[in-house]
Chain A
Amino acid sequence: GNSVTQMEGPVTLSEEAFLTINCTYTATGYPSLFWYVQYPGEGLQLLLKATKADDKGSNKGFEATYRKETTSFHLEKGSVQVSDSAVYFCALSKPYNFNKFYFGSGTKLNVKP
């Protein structure tokens, strides 16, 4: 079946530290991959996406590269800020099951000043 697995949180970092949140997926074919972010008290919003292998999605200093050989889409940021504290969700959509999305369980990030 189709699924997304994320590293469990919470992840606690000091400001300016390097961030990696691991995400791996199981799917047949060529899914599109996404990271969504949910800031405290707010709804989910798209952070970045990649629609084919070796694509790199980037936004707000965050990056993730679609690695088909390792079925991974790890989220990275070189220097986190307190304002990055949020819950991050990895997701995939199947191109031939149009718009059916599968979400990971979410990883909470706490950044301390």
Chain B
Amino acid sequence: GAGVSQSPSNKVTEKGKDVELRCDPISGHTALYWYRQSLGQGLEFLIYFQGNSAPDKSGLPSDRFSAERTGGSVSTLTIQRTQQEDSAVYLCASSSVHEQYFGPGTRLTVT
């Protein structure tokens, strides 16, 4: 069974551009999470999807950030009008009961 995959692995973009980051969770996992990890920092929770429930968006830092999950599987995190402070590693995780599995992350660099 494949693990959580994310694409792209690296993304360099110019300030002001929009970016889309993709996450493919483990098949059958109903919960999906996005986190941000800045250099040398801990995990910053962004958004959480659980089944068909409304997502928990409480961690999104601004309205430039949004995420969707189509068909209860693949998720896309979109950052509009990127800023340099958005540079970080964006981690996706999916979970079964009582355990999260992380993807390798997307390293975003805004120049």
Q: Which residues of B contact A45 (CB under 8 A)?
A: 102
How many residues on B have C-beta within 8 angstroms of the other chain's C-beta atoms?
Answer: 22
A106 touches B102 (CB 8 A): no
B105 touches A103 (CB 8 A): no
B41 touches A43 (CB 8 A): no
Q: Which residues of A contact B93 (CB under 8 A)?
A: 44, 101
A103 touches B95 (CB 8 A): no
Other-chain contact of B98, A36, A42, A49 (Cβ < 8 Å): A49
A99 touches B50 (CB 8 A): yes
Q: Does A24 touch B at the CB level, under 8 Å?
A: no
Q: Does A81 touch B at the CB level, under 8 Å?
A: no
Q: Does A93 touch B at the CB level, under 8 Å?
A: yes
B91 touches A44 (CB 8 A): yes
A contacts, CB < 8 Å to B? 32, 34, 36, 42-46, 49, 51, 89, 91, 93, 98-106
